[in-house]
Structure 1
Amino acid sequence: MADDKNTLDWKRKSREVQYDNPWITVYHDEVINPNGGDGIYGVVHFKNYAIGILPIDENGYTWLVGQKRYPLDKYTWEIPEGGGLRHIDPLESAKRELREEVGLEAREWKEILRSDISNSATDEQCILYTARDLKKVEIDPDETEVLTLLHLPLAEAIAKVDSGEITDSLSVMALLWMDRYMLRNNE
């Protein structure tokens, strides 16, 4: 086993596109692994950022979005979220998603976290925000979305992570970040 982090490099010998659509590209790579052996690697490249928003109103309530998720074939509760094209400011994508999914605009935005979603087979990255000082606007969901909204105390949303009812990674990260933030700041 190599012990110098500089030698722990993967080397790509070749790359072929196996699948491509407007959201992802799937690559098949022929590689040399960090220990010098030949191998293969499948990589899912995401063309968008995953954008998540934790809106918080003046009473400490937030909104969860319920919807049937096709890849999981199940109904999920999650924070407002969606994709943001990489050439567009992620904050603009967050503003669009909050308007589309919840019918809210915010005057105060804070980026709270950037994260790699699943670095074993994808390069998907997420950017999470809090949104405060909210005002209602007309909701405008994407044509593929049939959404249910749940307006609840932030503590109840965090409890849904603890109970396992919320499993969506962006939602888990944002809600646990907020829980930790509230503990640090005695809120």
Structure 2
Amino acid sequence: MENPWKTINKRTVYENPWISVTHREVINPSGNEGIYGVVHFKNLAIGIVPLDEHGYTWLVGQYRYTLDRYSWEIPEGGCPVGTSPLESAKRELLEETGITAARWEHILDFHLSNSVSDEAGMAFIARDLSFGEAQPEETEDLLVKKVPFTEALEMIYRGEITDSLSIMGLLRAKVWLEEG
């Protein structure tokens, strides 16, 4: 489909190593002048649902500065442009949980918020797990807990998991498991 928006002017108003924010003057689909702000993410979001042969998964808990609250999530992180998403997923799983996996399944591609952001990502299932020591980054003060996969789903339904990447990854993993 042809883009009904026309960009008249675009300028970067903020930038750091992870994002850039642009202010855009536009002609909207009805032909009127307007403005649009776009947050561009410099990394691909990566989420991992580790699953063992007994039906357990691992969640990572951390205080999320932007939300000013604690959050339970699947292991997740960023994939720099030009880096393999699978290699980034392996790195993130090891960093946050100490887990390595022998089998990987790519289960989902997504956009996290398409109204003002272009953030995209992928989710994976990790199987045939081995366990070691977590190697969190200096900005991560993490708790890791092993829960039955069904309990992780219940945490979504009870509103205890609110992170969109975690919700999408866990629900897609549920369908993947049901499909065999």
Instruction: State the 4+ residue runs in structure 1 displaced beyond 6 angstroms.
Output: none
Cα distance in 1 for partners of 2:179, 2:99 equals 28
Q: Secondary structure at 1:76's aligned position in 2?
A: strand
Give the Cα separation in 1 of the matches to 2:173 and 2:124.
10
Q: Are 1:119 and 2:114 matched, yes or no?
A: yes
1:144 Cα offset (Å): 0.3
Distance 2:100 2:75 in 1: 12
Q: Alignment partner of 1:131: what SS?
A: strand
| Aligned length in residues | 180
Q: 1:170 aligns with which of 165, 169, 179?
A: 165
1:11 is aligned to 6
Distance (whole Å) between structure 2 residues aligned to residue 178 and residue 80 of structure 1 = 14
Match of 1:107 in 2: 102
Which segment is superposed worse, 103-112 or 173-182? Answer: 173-182
CA contact (8 A) 2:62 2:141 kept: yes
Give 1:60 deviation, angstroms: 1.1
CA distance in 2, matches of 1:158, 1:177: 11
Q: Deviations over 1:47-90 (max 9, x none)?
A: 00110000001211000000000000000000000111021011
* TM-score using structure 1 length: 0.93
RMSD in angstroms over aligned alpha carbons? 1.0
In the TM superposition, 1:118-157 aligns within 5 A as: 118-157=113-152
Report the identity percentage. 54
Work out whether 1:32 is the aligned partner of 2:54: no
1:35, CA displacement in angstroms?
1.1
1:64 paired residue number: 59
The separation in 2 between residues aligned to 1:153 and 1:134, in whole angstroms, is 15
Q: What is the identity, as a one-letter code, of the residue corresponding to 2:72? A: W
Offset at 1:182?
A: 3.2
List gaps (5 residues or longer) in structure 2.
Answer: none
- After superposing the two structures, state which structure 1 stretch, 13-22 or 130-139, moved more: 130-139
2:174 alignment partner in structure 1: 179
Letter in 2 for 1:37: N
TM-score in terms of structure 2 length: 0.97
C-alpha distance in structure 1 between counterparts of 2:146 and 2:77, whole Å: 19
